[in-house]
Amino acid sequence: MKPAAAEPNPHGDACIVLVCNGPGELATWVRPLAQRLHRELPLRPLTPGAPMALQLVLVPCPNATGIEHQVADRMGLFERISPAKRFWSLLLRPQRLGRWPRRGVVVFLGGDQFWTVLLSARLGYRHITYAEWVARWPRWNDRIAAMGPAAADRLARRWQPRCQVVGDLMADLSEAARSERPLPQGEWVALMPGSKRAKLQVGVPFLLEAADRLAAQRPGIRFLLPVAPTTSVQELLAYGSAANPIAQHYGSGEPVLEGSDLVTPAGSRIRLVEEQPAHGVLSQCQLALTTVGANTAELGALGVPMIVLVPTQHLHVMQAWDGGIGILARLPFLRWLLGAALTAWRMRNHGFLAWPNISAGRQVVPERVGAITPQEIAAEAADWLAHPQRLEGMREDLRSLRGQPGAVAALAGMVRELLPPPSADSA
């Protein structure tokens, strides 16, 4: 097919730079906005020869995997991607990465908001921050796109005119997921062990045994496991084998690959979903068993009931987890009391771990923290599945938190407003 010709661009030679830090934000915030901008504007690389480009800058983050740039490259939406390891070099000498147009817009979509303040100042571009909970540097934001009134109301009065409430970017995920092809009939449960090595070491063998035990209680149940873009099928097999020393603590045994299914020795078949994002198939599941992280926000946006799992019995691995859990696991005098420390912290601070619960300020989805076992989780999952009206109640709670679609379109509109005016000269 012949590439589409570039349409006349009233903004001249300019650049839109999206800034992000991790795989969760790439999938749920960056990709939808990038796709929307490409639909509304002639942008390179999807419109060859267009005078304006869409670029991505990844920023340093202790919770990143280090291969986010590879994940972003597979999206095919960006003319240029700057890996996180080159961020400081980018700030010092931007021209090392090639020519930068004189005018542009930097959009914060994850990480430390201060990095986008520095980047926009260095490039001389205008700056917009998507504020999920708080806009930390409103003085240096040209515009602030707030997820909701909570973020907007925290701004001082003099910065309020810069702010617009756009809504939750992930509210649009369910709309896109509806166009996906349906799964075969059956009772589907999603297994989501995580996307990083430290979580996969525990999550894969734990969930394989949980699947075996759940299948024994509910014959005919079907499982799927979305393969995170930062891992592979072969790595999942390795995490479930004797190559992973944690696997010896679980009774599922070493899985094998049959076609696109992971099959346990007990005969449980787990469909591996490699296409990204997997929102279409996930939205059709009755229940998900998941670790903490951005996946709980994705499932919540899709309205998928879930049980969130934080097994604390493998402390040497949990030291590499992200967030407060990893910090607690690294404290030398509390390692053996991690479960108690987490429980005390949560009771004192109402410290929920799953994003739907954090957003609601109350428990919407169950969080199971401590020395939990696959047997306990399988029994709880079977109980939820045996009471579909309870599952539907959780689904409705998640839908009420999600808000109305349209945030991506609203944010794209704000980005367009910050682009150079039609009368501006080209760089």
Q: 49 lies in a domain?
A: yes
0.85 exceeded by pTM = no
Question: pLDDT tens for residues 33-68?
Answer: 999 999 999 999 999 999 899 999 999 987 677 888
Residues 133 and 231 in one domain: no
200 within domain boundaries: yes
- The residues, ordered by sequence, that sit 6+ positions from 317 with a Cβ below 8 Å of its Cβ are 198, 201, 202, 246
- The answer to whether residue 7 is domain-embedded is no
Statement to judge: residues 106 and 197 lie in one domain: no
Which stretches of the chain score pLDDT less than 50? 1-11, 319-320, 334-335, 347-350, 423-427
Q: What is the pLDDT of residue 198?
A: 80
Residue identified by tokens 């109301």 is 153
How far apart CA 240 and CA 250 sit, in angstroms, is: 9
Q: Which residues span the domain enclosing 321? A: 176-402
Do 204 and 88 lie in one domain? The reply is: no
Provide the pLDDT for residue 18. 98
Do 181 and 70 fall within a single domain? no
Query: What pLDDT, on a 0 to 100 scale, did the predictor assign at position 155?
Result: 96
3-class secondary-structure state, position 378:
helix
Do 140 and 218 fall within a single domain? no
HSE value, Cβ hemisphere, 13 Å, CA-based, for 190:
30
Both structure tokens of 267: 């005969």
* Any domain includes 39: yes
* 52: helix, strand or coil: strand
CA–CA gap between residue 277 and residue 243 (Å, rounded): 29
Specify the residue for token string 């024994």: 216
144-164: pLDDT as tens digits = 999 999 899 999 999 999 999
- Residue of 172, 174, 168, 81 lying closest to 130 (CA atoms): 168
Quick one: 369 and 222 in the same domain? yes
Q: Is residue 133 part of a domain?
A: yes
Residues in the chain: 427
> Is 156 contained in some domain?
yes
Q: Is residue 425 part of a domain?
A: no
User: For residue 116, how many other CB atoms are within 10 A of its CB?
Assistant: 28
Which long-range CB contacts under 8 A does 68-76 form with residues at least 24 apart? 68/20, 68/21, 68/22, 68/23, 68/26, 68/230, 71/23, 71/26, 71/229, 71/230, 72/20, 72/26, 72/30, 74/229, 74/276, 75/26, 75/31, 75/34, 76/45, 76/46
- Shared domain for 85 and 194, answered yes or no, is no
CATH number for position 346: 3.40.50.2000
pLDDT, residue 162, reads 97
Instruction: Tell me what percent of the chain is helix, strand and coil, each rounded to the nearest 5.
Output: 45, 15, 40
* pLDDT value of residue 89: 93
Please report the DSSP string for 66-129 in residue order: S-HHHHHHHHT--SEEE-GGGHHHHHH-GGGG----SSEEEEE-SS-HHHHHHHHHHHT-EEEE
Which pLDDT belongs to residue 333? 52
The per-residue pLDDT for 11 is 46
User: Are 137 and 113 contacting, i.e. CB atoms less than 8 angstroms apart?
Assistant: yes
Cis preceding-peptide flag for 245 (omega within 30 of 0): no
Are 36 and 157 in a shared domain? yes
Domain count, the chain: 2
Whether 423 maps to a domain, the answer reads no
Same domain, 223 and 323: yes
| 247 shares its domain with 103 | no
- What is residue 358's predicted lDDT score, i.e. its pLDDT? 86
The pLDDT value given to residue 216: 97
pLDDT of residue 288: 98
Do 161 and 193 lie in a common domain? Answer: no
Tell the burial category of 2 from Cβ atoms under 10 Å away from its Cβ (0-12, 13-18, 19+).
Answer: exposed
Q: How confident is the model at residue 317, as a pLDDT?
A: 56
**CA–CA separation, 284 and 421 (whole Å):** 44
Residues 156 and 225 in one domain: no
**pLDDT at residue 239 in the model:** 95
